[in-house]
Amino acid sequence: MINNLETRYSYVSDYLFINILNTINGRNNVFTDFLEEDGLMVAWLSLMKEKGLLNSEQVEKINESSIDIKKIQLFREQCRSFFLEPETQSKFLESLASNTEKAPLFFDKEFRPTPSTGGTDGLISLIAYDMLTAHHNGLFPKIKKCKSNTCYALFVDTSGRRKWCSMEVCGNRTKARKHYAKKSSE
Ligand SMILES: [Zn+2]
């Protein structure tokens, strides 16, 4: 069991799908893929539940079957390249919709989706649904990558002015670097 998964993130998004896309990072110039760590998927699901981005029924259902990390990584890469190079990915939205078909979703009275099967297909189905909802709400053009070269985090830029995934982690660090570069050249 991974403790303090939250501290691996430069920030935790309010969107479920962004949090799975941000399971890679390059903090301190070291590339890390959280998904490759044992127990990460279980820890990630608990963190999402803690943040209110998944409910108990959804987590229980997903945990009913095993998760193939390689498939989640592949899905993550397809989604990331769509946001980083959208012009090359015209079929992406169709493939996203077909991802929800492998584990159809059932909706409760509050319209919260629960996949019909757990494991890999169930998790991908839920994330794909979350992305399609974001797409319908016009969020896709607002998704940006953090301006820091060593950070891979994506975020939703609601104001149109946000540059960093986290002002505390990436914003201040870049500002400090520029400040010292300027000072030493003086
Ligand atoms: Zn960042």
Distance 79 CA to ligand 1 centre (A): 18
Residue 135 in tokens? 């797409």
Distance 118 CA to ligand 1 centre (A): 32
Read off the amino acid at residue 5: L
Rounded to an integer, what is the distance from CA 132 to the centroid of its chain?
14
Span 83-88, average pLDDT? 84
Do 89 and 82 contact (CB within 8 A), yes or no?
yes
Distance 112 CA to ligand 1 centre (A): 30
Token pair 């803690």 is found at 50
| 82 confidence band (pLDDT: 50, 70, 90) | very high
| 64 confidence band (pLDDT: 50, 70, 90) | very high
Query: Rounded CA gap, 125 and 118, in Å?
Result: 9
Rounded to an integer, what is the distance from CA 50 to the centroid of its chain?
16
Summarised one tens digit per residue, pLDDT across range 127-161 is 999 999 999 999 999 999 999 988 999 999 999 99
Bridge-based pairing state of the strands 32-33 and 105-107:
unpaired
Span 1-15, average pLDDT? 84
**28 pLDDT higher than 80:** no
Distance 63 CA to ligand 1 centre (A): 30
Span 156-180, average pLDDT? 84
Q: Which residues pair with 33 in a beta bridge?
A: 24
Distance 49 CA to ligand 1 centre (A): 23
pLDDT, residue 89, reads 75
| 174 confidence band (pLDDT: 50, 70, 90) | low
pLDDT, residue 180, reads 67
Ion ligand 1: residue ranges with CB closer than 5 A:
10, 146, 148, 151, 153, 165, 170
pLDDT, residue 145, reads 96
Domains in the chain: boundaries = 5-185
- Gyration radius of the chain over CA positions: 18
Distance 176 CA to ligand 1 centre (A): 14
Distance 47 CA to ligand 1 centre (A): 20
Distance 146 CA to ligand 1 centre (A): 5
> CB neighbours of 33 closer than 8 A, spacing ≥ 6?
23, 24, 73
**102 pLDDT higher than 80:** yes
SS3 percent helix, strand, coil of the chain, rounded to 5, is 55, 10, 35
Distance 173 CA to ligand 1 centre (A): 10
Distance 152 CA to ligand 1 centre (A): 7
Distance 86 CA to ligand 1 centre (A): 20
Query: Rounded CA gap, 127 and 36, in Å?
Result: 19
Pairwise pLDDT comparison (4 vs 136), residue with the higher score = 136
| DSSP state at residue 39 | T
Percent of the chain with pLDDT over 70: 92
Read off the amino acid at residue 47: L
CATH class of this structure's domain 5-185? mainly alpha
**Average pLDDT of the chain to the nearest whole number:** 90
Classify the C-alpha dihedral 168-173-176-182 as positive or negative. negative
pLDDT, residue 47, reads 96
- Residue 51's SS3 state is coil
Query: Rounded CA gap, 29 and 177, in Å?
Result: 14
